[in-house]
Amino acid sequence: MLNPDQWVPAEVHKTPPSIMKLSLPKRIRALVKLHDTPLMVVDKRVLIEEYARFKRLLPRVDLYYAIKANPHPDIIKAFRDLGGAFDVASEGEMRHVLAQGVKPQRIIFANTVKRPEALEFARKARVNFVTFDSEPELYKIAKHHPGCRVLARLKVSNLGSIVELSLKFGADYDQIVPMMAKAKGLGLRPEGVSFHVGSQCTNFENYQRALEVTANIMKGAVERGLPFKIVDIGGCFPIKHFKSDTISLDTFASKLRRELDRLYPKDVQIIAEPGRALSGPAGMLICRVVGRSIRNNKNYYYLDDGVYGDFSGIVFDHCKYEFRTLVKTQKYASILAGPTCDSFDTISLNEDLPELDVGSVVYVPSIGAYSCASAVVFNGIPPAKVIVV
């Protein structure tokens, strides 16, 4: 989770609202002058717009923001005030969300493998909604959180997704209904099925197959007299990291709406756990060049942030970013590296960039998710300061 020392609360970061009204180049220069670099700028206006876009495109879907994408308190409070709910994966994340004034009824503990102590905390905090994908996990939940509401996590295809989460999570189709029956027998409250088609999913067939399989599970559960109230379609919604990207929620939302209405009665609640899709577009990382050289006939630029910092998504999330500059001249083959004394700290081996000098700004849009959330201090070099404007 983000180091609280990086957080600059909205009420004290003292960024004049007038700065956000400037043209982008002038805005960036003003923010650098005011806050220095590296700087992660999260635009609250974009957070609100992305939430509203989701609700407009998928009006039937209740949103549980996956805070692992970016747990900044101001982001949580923004979605709290919009009526959103939250997906947490640990006791620490639960404590963090509750500390922002979120009611426990608006939290799902969506890690299928939970520490007994975390379940005890959830019970005491009245977080009464968890996922599971194995029978041993059910016994653990029944022991440490008796009577809890549970969703069975289904293993589904992740073909075409950047991160294949079904490699680690999810039970096979034929296990789901028997485990729901087992949950009921243990005094738990099975309420439906969850699945995740993989992060940055650009293959709509993954959604379609998962929804059809889940609908068949629903029929089997109802035939056995088991309650089936909820379908959790997970996160996975792709965002545009580059101007040239063509696939996003907008491209398949209408098909997803039709499938949900075709397969599930209106009394079945549909929930989702977007993380990147809500916080990603709102974040912009501003760096500066701190060193340069020529290597292998390429310009080699060292930035004041790297893969141990806010470019950690390159490692942990297989992410690719669009690097932009304030210089508009001829471009050359270039390499970008981070500031640490480790060759692993290489950001990109092939970028077309104009000639830059020490002090030149390099900025990256749509980097608000899986960046500062997994950044660490290495070589004594802190990650970017985070501000919400």
On whether both 295 and 177 belong to a single domain, the answer is no
User: From residue 77, how far is each of 4, 67, 307 by CA, in Å?
Assistant: 15, 11, 28
- Residue range 181-239, pLDDT digits in tens: 999 999 999 999 999 886 666 677 888 899 999 999 999 999 999 999 999 999 878 77
On whether both 166 and 86 belong to a single domain, the answer is yes
Per-residue pLDDT, averaged over 238-251, amounts to 72
**What integer pLDDT is reported at residue 205 of this predicted model?**
83
Range of the domain at 355: 4-42+283-388
**What integer pLDDT is reported at residue 319 of this predicted model?**
85
On whether both 301 and 258 belong to a single domain, the answer is no
Residue finishing a domain among 226, 254, 279 = 279
On whether both 55 and 164 belong to a single domain, the answer is yes
Catalytic residue positions, numbered: 341
Per-residue pLDDT, averaged over 164-183, amounts to 84
- Residue range 288-323, pLDDT digits in tens: 999 999 998 899 999 999 999 999 999 887 788 999
Rounded distance, CA 3 to CA 23, Å? 31
- Which CATH number does the domain housing residue 129 bear? 3.20.20.10
On whether both 356 and 369 belong to a single domain, the answer is yes
- Residue range 68-85, pLDDT digits in tens: 999 999 999 999 999 999
Phi then psi for residue 307, to 5 deg, are -75, -20
Per-residue pLDDT, averaged over 159-173, amounts to 62
H helices, E strands: number in the chain: 11, 17
Look at residue 2 and tell me whether its pLDDT is greater than 70: no
Amino acid letter at 289?
V
On whether both 33 and 68 belong to a single domain, the answer is no
Amino acid letter at 117?
E
On whether both 208 and 59 belong to a single domain, the answer is yes
Look at residue 172 and tell me whether its pLDDT is greater than 80: yes
**What integer pLDDT is reported at residue 48 of this predicted model?**
97
Look at residue 162 and tell me whether its pLDDT is greater than 70: no
On whether both 97 and 177 belong to a single domain, the answer is yes
Residue finishing a domain among 279, 314, 343 = 279
On whether both 121 and 260 belong to a single domain, the answer is yes
Count of domains observed in the chain: 2
> Is pTM, for the whole model, over 0.85?
yes
On whether both 100 and 14 belong to a single domain, the answer is no
Residue finishing a domain among 279, 307, 339 = 279
On whether both 317 and 373 belong to a single domain, the answer is yes
How much is the mean pLDDT over the chain?
91
Phi then psi for residue 28, to 5 deg, are -60, -45
